Chain A
Amino acid sequence: MKKRHRLAMLGSAALLTLTLAACSNGSNNSSVKTPKLPQTYSASAKASPKANDGTLKIGEVSDSPFTGISSPTLASVATDADVFAPGGQGNLFATDNNYKIVNGGMANLKLDKKANTATITLRKNAKWSNGTPVTAKDIEYAYEVIANPDTKSQQYSGDFENIKGMKDYHEGKSDTISGITYPDGEKGKTAVIHFDHLTPAMQYAGNSFIWGSVEPYEYLKDVKIADLVSSDKIRKDPIFTGAYKLDKVVEGESTSWSPNKYYWGKKAKIKHVDIRVVSTSNVTAALKAKKYDFLQGGASAADRPEISKLKDYQIVGKPAFAYSYFGFNLGHMDPKTGKQVTDKNKKMSNKNLRKAMMYAIDLDQVAKKFGNGVSWRANTLLPPVFKDLYNAKTPGFKYNMKKANKLLDDAGYKKKGKWRAQPNGKPLVINFAVSSSSATANATHKYELQQWRKLGLNVKYTSGKPMEFNSFDSAIQKPDQKNIDVWNGAWSLSSEPTPTQLYGQNAPYNMGHFVSKENTKLLNNMNNSKAWNHKYRAKQFKDWQAYMNKETAYAPDSFSLSWEPVNKRVKGYSVKPADGDNSFSNLQLTQENTK
């Protein structure tokens, strides 16, 4: 099922699946192969009308109740997006399999490079599940909810200020966003967004300039924007534009759905859909007992071996939007300008030292041991889900202890007693920060420490042990961090992966403070005027990945699969991005009970 992916920092739970991840293709050549999974499943038997009158049962794997915010502009956790997915999340645009926006969704997008406008035209038959039409105002209202000075939404990004008048609205200086206009009036079907300039990233879903969903203005207008998030209209009786309408939500635990007769697209065939939260400890038992047709949002890597054995389930999936990485502290952030500054004389400033540390860890073995076939050694800072942009050719850091030692010797890190000293003769103690999570993740980090010590580097955990995850989060975000030299973290990207917000000079999350002319140039090239040419743009992404490996300011750790087991009575299941809008209406059942 298509999910909205945001650029988000992963908490400890996600780090857990990622850091202990990796896959079993530890072959001797240095290239990295992406494990392949089918992206669709369709039972071979005929669909049964009687079965379609029954209930599609979906499990949402989570150890805590969902928060229950149905609106994508206000929600900030993935479980909410999952349990409200049958409603379509107000999704505006259809995409191809590379997440490029194409015609055919609820609205079409037209970018005019001369006028610097984006014109969004809704289908004539686009309606909310209460029968009222989706209007141009609904497109604009999503921006108002996100940018209102009193909003509780966490979605506002600096990129939105590229829209004319957005900054004034956000700061409360004006009541409307002057850069969003409606040629046919508020109730018309067309909204035009006026930008300072257009950027090639805008062609892709999940970009941070054009918001991808609508909010029902007529339905919500009586509720103050500040109160929306806790209102019944968002939590108990929300309306949707997708294939299904919400019948009932039991707060924190389940949602149930029936077909939305006002849906503009293909009509849903299965009469009822139930989504229930299932705890991580029960996933395998629940699937063995055939409680669910599939899992929304997937299960953890640790469950993969057991689930793979289930004959009545087919595993479907694709590479995840997430990757984990090692970051090296190379400078500080200037609090006055908000810009990152690379210092020449930091402990980790020597490129050879950073490279040696990476070559000393056998990421393929870690993957083999703990990855359960769900994750594998990463070779770049961009996951392979972005087929066109991912650089499969850059080798990354394949385990090579000899090379690691040589790199250090060449750079003058000579042994003084037990440990290697800095080239200037001063002792070298490297502080390694990780967030504490599962036993396997902790074991992996211990292994990493061990390998570095084998290399003669005196590496210690910052504060002596893995850090509690809130402490870890706030520690690595400090503008000038003296106690962390290297850390292990993870990111989950949106479906438009321009990495400027993570690695650019102005990026607050460039926590290793890495800045170089070449880096800035490559990042800018990804969205300059030439980048409207896809080949050129893809080349910039690939060059950037190779460059980042060369510099090793951040080094790739692991990639993973996003995967879901699907019961063999289900027809028409797909995780292909192009099937997004109809992913629920394509579903059918071949028999009354789960197989």
Chain B
Amino acid sequence: MWKTILRRVLIMIPELIVLSILVFLLAKAMPGDPFSGSINPKTSPAQLHRLMAANGLFDPWYVQYWHWVVNLFHGKLGMSYEYQMPVINLIKQRGLNTLWLATFTMILTYAIGLPLGIFAGKHEGKWQDTIIRVFNYITMSVPFFVVLVIGIWIFGYALGWFPTSGSISPNANGMGETILSRLGHIILPGLLGALFGTVNIVQYLRSQVIDAKHSAFVKTAVAKGVPEKDIYRHHIFRNSLLPIAAFAGYSITGLLAGSIFTEMIFSYPGMGQLFLNAVNYRDYTVITTLVLLYGFLNLMGTLISDIVLSIVDPRIRVE
């Protein structure tokens, strides 16, 4: 087991290097630069030139890449051109917001998805199953941004139950108020995200439960007279969780990715928007850092998924 993990971690190093070069090249290949779009026309070309040169933007790509890597190992991720602050602070700030919202959404998604999937599988073909499947089709077919706009309109503006913008009230002071205000701000987007994000879990789990129900070992157990509860708990549920467990690793690392729709509609400053804006405004330092971070998290996600899988399913373990 440890050997597997170690080997996987070692493989990640060249993968990350290749990724970082690719990201760097692609970012630089985009047309435009961080300055020419927003510059004050009263600024002389010399001043523009000075700002570009001071930021090393005239150097060949490999020189810029080298500087970036050296800085990276010194823990310096550079300054964001757009926000004029260290990228690390920017990511901390937005990452925290995203982490709050995404964790909350993920917990809710599993809390809703797991029972629904099992319940649907258990009652295969009956009316309960039909209702859940219809719910599933609806959540799958309605575009998510429509859900968000309607959701914020009804529960945020018309009924006024939830805050409609930001991650925290500007008037929240003290630890308790801060936490409550933060929670208040993520309930609506979190709930909508969870309700409309359960499709995969429910569908997978449902079909796995149905498969398991018809498999030989369950039939044997039924024939032996094992109580239904125990059959579900020990035989069906554990086996059905395999694909969900495989998902879990990705979900955990996906927590930092952020959701552009949710963030835009709820004016919630998170990682999704940060990335989109960085691309739009050619904020190279932010783009490269984020892509590298996401790449790293993805690799970690695969690793975690494999580890989880090998815990859940001993057959997969590679020695």
Residues in A lying within 8 Å of B, measured CB to CB: 6-9, 11, 62-65, 67-69, 74, 76-77, 152, 154-159, 208, 229-230, 235, 247-248, 250-256, 272, 274, 276-279, 281-282, 285-286, 288-289, 291, 338, 468-471, 473-475, 477, 491, 501-502, 507-509
Contacts and interface: CB of A to CB of B under 8 A. Distances in A.
A291 B157 contact: yes
Contacts of A7: 40-42
A474 B33 contact: yes
B40 A67 contact: no
Given A254-B169, A282-B164, 4 more contacts: A254-B170, A279-B265, A470-B33, A470-B37
Nearest to B159: A289
A277 B282 CA distance: 23
B170 A276 contact: yes
Interface string B1-42: 000000000000000000000000000001111011111111
A7 B39 CA distance: 9
Contacts of B89: 230
A285 B83 CA distance: 29
A469 B37 contact: yes
B176 interface: no
Interface residues of B, number: 51
Interface string B151-182: 01100111010001111111100000000000
Contacts of B280: 469-470
A157 B44 CA distance: 6
A252 B274 CA distance: 11
B288 interface: no
Interface in B74-119: 79, 82-86, 89, 93-94
A508 B84 contact: no
A508 B41 contact: yes
A456 B296 CA distance: 56
B45 interface: yes
Given A251-B269, A291-B157, A338-B45, A154 B85 contact: no
B149 interface: yes
Nearest to A476: B36
Contact of B51 (A154, A248, A281): A154
A197 to B, nearest CB: 18
A288 B157 contact: yes
A156 B43 contact: yes
Interface of B: 30-33, 35-45, 47, 51, 79, 82-86, 89, 93-94, 149, 152-153, 156-158, 160, 164-171, 264-269, 273, 277, 280, 282
B275 to A, nearest CB: 11
A250 B168 contact: yes
Of A69, A230, A288, most B-chain CB atoms within 10 Å: A230
Contacts of A491: 41
B83 to A, nearest CB: 5
Contacts of B171: 248, 256, 272, 274
Of B79, B171, B273, most A-chain CB atoms within 10 Å: B171
6 contacts: A253-B167, A253-B269, A469-B280, A471-B31, A474-B32, A507-B41
A501 B41 contact: yes
A289 B158 contact: yes
Contact of A76 (B38, B164, B167): B38
Nearest to A231: B85
A34 B214 CA distance: 76
B32 A473 contact: yes
B37 A9 contact: yes
B166 A277 contact: yes
B41 A289 contact: no
A502 B160 contact: no
Contacts of B35: 154
A72 to B, nearest CB: 12
A272 B82 CA distance: 30
A285 B165 contact: no
A474 B79 contact: no
A230 B30 CA distance: 27
Given A74-B84, A291-B157, A470 B30 contact: yes
B44 A158 contact: yes
A229 B41 contact: no
Contacts of B30: 470
Nearest to A475: B31
A8 B32 contact: no
A253 B39 CA distance: 24
B159 to A, nearest CB: 9
B165 A474 contact: no
Nearest to A251: B93
Nearest to B86: A230
Contacts of B43: 154-158
B93 to A, nearest CB: 6
Given A76-B38, A256-B171, A470-B37, A229 B85 contact: yes
B160 A289 contact: yes
Contacts of A154: 35, 38-40, 43, 51
A235 B85 CA distance: 10
B170 A474 contact: no
B160 to A, nearest CB: 7
A438 to B, nearest CB: 15
Given A278-B165, A285-B157, A471-B32, A252 B269 contact: yes
B41 A155 contact: no
A6 B40 CA distance: 7
Contacts of A252: 93-94, 269
Nearest to A69: B84
B157 A474 contact: no
A475 B37 CA distance: 11
8 tightest Cβ-Cβ pairs between the two chains A and B: A470-B32, A157-B42, A289-B157, A252-B269, A471-B31, A65-B269, A253-B166, A256-B170
Given A67-B84, A282-B165, A282-B265, A8 B40 contact: yes
Contact of B170 (A62, A229, A274): A274
A285 B153 contact: yes
A277 B84 CA distance: 19
Nearest to A469: B37
Nearest to A491: B41
Contacts of B265: 279, 281-282
A229 B40 contact: no
Given A9-B39, A65-B273, A154-B38, A277 B267 contact: yes
B37 A11 contact: yes
Contacts of A248: 170-171
Given A67-B82, A508-B41, A509-B41, A250 B157 contact: no
A9 to B, nearest CB: 6
Given A156-B43, A282-B165, A286-B164, A9 B269 contact: no
A473 B36 contact: yes
Of B42, B86, B158, most A-chain CB atoms within 10 Å: B42
A594 to B, nearest CB: 12
Contacts of A250: 166-168, 170
Contacts of B51: 154
B37 A253 contact: no
Contacts of B39: 9, 154
B36 A477 contact: yes
A68 B79 CA distance: 15
B214 to A, nearest CB: 47
B141 to A, nearest CB: 21
Contacts of B44: 157-158, 508
Contacts of A152: 84
A276 B181 CA distance: 15
Given A67-B84, A276-B170, A9 B41 contact: yes
Nearest to B160: A289
A261 B165 CA distance: 30
Contacts of B168: 250, 253
B36 A67 contact: no
Nearest to A494: B42
Contacts of A67: 82-84
Contacts of A471: 31-32
Contacts of B268: 253
A9 B38 contact: yes
